[in-house]
Amino acid sequence: MPRHEELELLMVRYQNGDASAVTELVETLSPPLYRFFTSQFVSRRFADDLLQETWLKIHEVRHTYRPGEPVLPWIYAIARHTRVDHYRRTRRVEDREQQVEQLPEAAATAAPDSRGFDLEAVLRQLPESQREVVVMLKVADMSLEEVARATSSSVGSVKQKAHRAYEKLRGLL
């Protein structure tokens, strides 16, 4: 992961129309953004859609980035809002659809995961706000201040959510 200064430079170059900067930003930040989405109860199929939608939104609002400001909180705030919008859209559709239970044949053929420890399954047991903070801090390697900006919270609130998440994770593990 490039340093914060390198990301800021890439973002400024992107704002100025440098196509190579766009490519480098997308290649650098897509893996952690994808992990962010998959850790939030989002299926892998939807994570792909959310990642693409996030980059489209970033492209549309790239002019709002202020040079000199950290890039990661700005991008993660967009990703977070994209995920929330997706959730709301999906809920509206699901509220109108009739849900069908899983077919017995499909349930019988589902093989258990043989990889052992499943981090995603453990993270799913955390409340959404705690899970989001842990992923940003530990997976995206963001600072407390950056997470606070991305989630529109105070640093104290981020610390509290992280502490509660760590306590719950210790109990689960």
Least confident of 19-23, 40-44, 95-99, 164-168: 95-99
Q: Residue 49 CA to chain centroid, in angstroms?
A: 12
Q: How does residue 124 score in pLDDT terms, banded at 50, 70 and 90?
A: confident
- The overall pTM is greater than 0.85: no
SS3 65: coil
Query: What does the pLDDT look like over 33-64, one tens digit per residue?
Result: 998 888 876 677 788 889 999 999 999 999 99
Q: What does the alpha-carbon distance between residue 13 and residue 18 come to, in Å, rounded to a whole number?
A: 5
Class of 4-96+119-172 in CATH = mainly alpha
Q: What is the pLDDT of residue 2?
A: 64
Q: What does the alpha-carbon distance between residue 17 and residue 73 come to, in Å, rounded to a whole number?
A: 22
Query: What does the pLDDT look like over 77-120, one tens digit per residue?
Result: 999 999 888 888 777 766 665 555 655 554 444 444 555 567 77
Q: What is the pLDDT of residue 38?
A: 87
100 against 145, higher pLDDT: 145
- Computed from CA positions of residues 18, 73, 7, 22, in that sequence, does the dihedral angle turn out positive or negative? negative
What is the average pLDDT score of the chain?
83
Q: What does the alpha-carbon distance between residue 144 and residue 39 come to, in Å, rounded to a whole number?
A: 19
141 against 6, higher pLDDT: 6
pLDDT above 70 covers a percentage of the chain that reads 83
Q: Can you tell me the mean pLDDT for 165-171? A: 88
Q: What is the pLDDT of residue 54?
A: 95
